[in-house]
Structure 1
Amino acid sequence: TSTNFSGGPIFRPTRWLTLMADYYYIRKNHYIAPNPVGTTNVANAYLAGEALPTGVTVTPDIADPQNPTGQLRPGIINLGYVNTNKLVTDGFDLSFEANTQLPGVFHEVHWYSKGTATFVRRMNLTNPDGSVYRYAGTLGPYGAVSASGTPRWRANWSNTLSWRKLAVTPTVYYTSGYRTTAEDQTGSGTAGNCADALTSSSFVPLGQCKVKGFWDVDLTVNYQFNRRWSAYANVYNLLGFKSPYDFGTYGGYLYNPSWTQNGVVLRSFQFGVKVVL
Structure 2
Amino acid sequence: MKENRMEQRWDAEHYDERIGFVSRLGQSLIGLLQPKPAERILDLGCGTGDLTHQISLSGAVVTGLDCSETMIAKAKEKYPELRFVEADGETFRLEEGEAPYDAVFSNAALHWMQKPDKAIESVWLSLRPGGRFVAEFGGFGNVGAIIQALTSAVESYGVPVEKRYPWYFPSIGEYASLLEKQGFAVGYAELYDRPTPLDGGERGLRHWLAAFAGTFFAGLSEAEKEEVCLRCEAGLRPKLYDGKQWIADYRRIRIKAVKPVEQAG
Do they superpose with TM above 0.5? no
- TM-score in terms of structure 1 length: 0.24
Structure holding more helix per residue: 2
Query: Whose RCO is larger (CA < 8 A, sep 6+)?
Result: 2
Q: Which has the larger radius of gyration?
A: 1
- TM-score in terms of structure 2 length: 0.25
